[in-house]
């Protein structure tokens, strides 16, 4: 009879508590699937007195995460506290140095210190598993690291933040403003009281940095990710996208180019016929383009206690089975320093919305500036509010929305042309620019 895998769980919040329940519910089936039992031997949390609805009789309480990680009575340290530094970092380091395996859902820690921790895991023989750090229940880490080990990946992209996808979905379906949808997301618990980490794209950037390392065999480099959030998106952009056959999503995109690995997070127009465009609400999705394969899209809940706990438990099951995969799919020494592709050299189609002054020569001036940068226009739409000419309070014509869709061009060319248009004073305000991602 093989001894059960003894777990030490640091953090009994939503995910930690759900994990304890899952292990209790699935004890027999886990033992059958893994060839050995899985048992919670010790825990630690900020408050021992807090009511969690858990039966922790017979479970040891450690005084702090570091003490738990160093406990010789556990085989696997499960970190569910969060944060990119201590106490999570020092506790994980202690567990790995003592030869224990580690399972974590901590994307911030992996994005910042993943290579350092992976090196410790390799040196001391333990596993470092972090499936739940990216996409929760979506098994994208295992897919890239193991399922596609024999495939050269060219591009990985997806919806990696449920808060942003919920807001954009509501804006599109109900014609609401960003501010209105954000307020509702906060009321429903989909967005934090301070939502900037989500809506400004930083959560997605951390997850993308991890995926890029797995996909391309490069060192994790969150600083190499271009980041842009969704707060500038207006209902009129979503209406225009719908009429043009697109849908707006906040995407994280990592792609191999001749200039290096492009890593970018920004609002993106995707064809409505694409798999990623069908993903609405708080759901997440990741698409992988591999050499010689049709694109593979994984869709599922990207957050929440049950979804995250299920991914954590899958990683624990691998530890119980004795699986010791390289954390990033390759030995740390074989991971290459990332060659960052400059965002200015990104090439693709663009959606551009201008508020053009209703003056003679405006259209010609815009066309001239685009032509100077060799930008070709696929389509152009000009419309007045409600289909009629609008007049400002001073009696002068109001600016007219002009929407341009370009053929593939460079980021640098687009912004040079728009800066010139602004200098010509034929538009009001700042142009809205949204990149287009083809299938």
Q: What is the pLDDT of residues 100-136, one digit of tens each?
A: 999 999 999 999 999 999 999 999 999 999 999 998 8
381 or 174, higher pLDDT: 174
Q: What is residue 385's predicted lDDT score, i.e. its pLDDT?
A: 52
CA 37 to chain centre: 33
Q: What is residue 396's predicted lDDT score, i.e. its pLDDT?
A: 65
**Three-state SS across 67-101?**
HHHCCCCCCEEEECCCCCCCCHHHHHHHHHHCCCE
Contact by Cβ (8 Å): 114, 328? yes
Q: What is residue 359's predicted lDDT score, i.e. its pLDDT?
A: 81
Report the phi/psi class of residue 240: left, alpha or beta, with left for phi > 0 and alpha for psi in -120 to 50: alpha
Phi, psi of 67 (to 5 degrees): -65, -40
How much is the CA Rg of the chain, to the nearest whole Å? 25
Q: What is the mean pLDDT of the chain?
A: 92
CA distance 172 to 113: 38
Is the pLDDT at 388 greater than 60, yes or no? Answer: no
CA distance 291 to 153: 6
Is the pLDDT at 78 greater than 60, yes or no? Answer: yes
Provide the whole-model pTM.
0.93
Q: What is residue 137's predicted lDDT score, i.e. its pLDDT?
A: 87
190 or 418, higher pLDDT: 418
Is the pLDDT at 387 greater than 50, yes or no? Answer: no
Is the pLDDT at 144 greater than 80, yes or no? Answer: yes
Is the pLDDT at 439 greater than 80, yes or no? Answer: no
Q: What is residue 417's predicted lDDT score, i.e. its pLDDT?
A: 97
Q: What is residue 236's predicted lDDT score, i.e. its pLDDT?
A: 94
Strand order in the sheet with 101-104: 60-61, 38-44, 5-10, 76-79, 101-104, 128-129
Across 48-57, 195-204, 339-348, the highest mean pLDDT is recorded for 195-204
Mean of pLDDT values over 38-53: 92
Is the pLDDT at 384 greater than 80, yes or no? Answer: no
Pairing type for strands 226-227 and 260-271 reads parallel
The total of other beta-carbon atoms located within 10 Å of residue 394's CB is: 6
Q: How far is CA 172 from CA 166, 178, 206, 325, 411, in A?
A: 10, 10, 26, 42, 26
Q: What is residue 390's predicted lDDT score, i.e. its pLDDT?
A: 47
Mind telling me the catalytic residues?
A: 207
In the block, tokens 């009994």 appear at 12
Q: What is residue 329's predicted lDDT score, i.e. its pLDDT?
A: 95
């Amino acid at each position: 009879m093989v001894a059960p895998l003894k777990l030490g769980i640091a953090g009994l919040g939503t995910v930690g508590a759900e994990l304890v329940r899952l292990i209790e519910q699935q004890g027999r089936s886990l033992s059958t699937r893994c060839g050995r039992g899985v048992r919670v031997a010790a825990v630690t949390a900020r408050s021992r007195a807090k009511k969690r609805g858990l039966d922790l009789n017979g479970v040891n309480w450690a005084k702090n995460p570091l003490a738990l990680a160093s406990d010789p009575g556990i085989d696997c340290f499960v970190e569910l506290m969060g944060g990119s530094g201590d106490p999570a970092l020092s506790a994980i380091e202690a567990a790995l140095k003592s030869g224990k395996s580690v399972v974590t859902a901590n994307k911030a820690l992996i994005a910042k210190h993943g290579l350092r921790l992976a090196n410790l895991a390799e040196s001391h023989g333990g596993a470092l598993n972090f499936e739940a750090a990216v996409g929760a229940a979506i098994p994208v880490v295992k897919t890239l690291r193991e399922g596609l080990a024999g495939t050269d990946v060219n591009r990985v992209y997806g919806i990696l933040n449920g808060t942003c996808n919920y807001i954009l979905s509501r804006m599109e379906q109900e014609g609401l403003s960003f501010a209105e949808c954000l307020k509702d997301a906060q009321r429903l618990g989909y967005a934090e009281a301070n939502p900037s980490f989500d809506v400004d794209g930083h959560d997605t950037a951390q997850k993308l940095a991890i995926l890029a390392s797995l996909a391309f065999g490069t060192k994790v480099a969150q600083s190499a990710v271009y980041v842009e959030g969704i707060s500038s998106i207006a209902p009129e952009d979503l209406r225009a996208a719908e009429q043009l056959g697109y849908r707006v999503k906040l995407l994280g995109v990592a792609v191999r180019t001749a200039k290096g690995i492009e890593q970018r997070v920004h609002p993106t127009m995707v064809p409505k016929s694409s798999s990623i465009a069908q993903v609405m609400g708080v759901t997440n999705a990741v698409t992988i383009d591999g050499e010689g394969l049709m694109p593979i899209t994984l869709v599922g809940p990207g957050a929440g206690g049950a979804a995250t706990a299920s991914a954590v438990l899958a990683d624990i099951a691998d530890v119980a089975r004795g699986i010791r995969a390289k954390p990033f799919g390759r030995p740390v020494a074989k991971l290459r320093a990332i060659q960052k592709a400059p965002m200015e050299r990104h090439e693709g189609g663009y959606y551009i919305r201008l508020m053009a002054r209703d003056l003679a020569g405006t259209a010609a001036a815009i066309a001239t500036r685009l032509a100077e940068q060799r930008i070709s226009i696929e389509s152009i739409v000009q419309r007045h509010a409600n289909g009629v000419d609008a007049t400002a309070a001073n009696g002068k014509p109001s600016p007219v929305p002009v929407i341009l869709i370009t053929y593939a061009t460079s980021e640098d060319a687009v912004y040079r042309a728009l800066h010139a248009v602004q200098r010509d004073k034929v538009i009001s305000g700042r142009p809205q620019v949204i990149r287009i991602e083809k299938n």
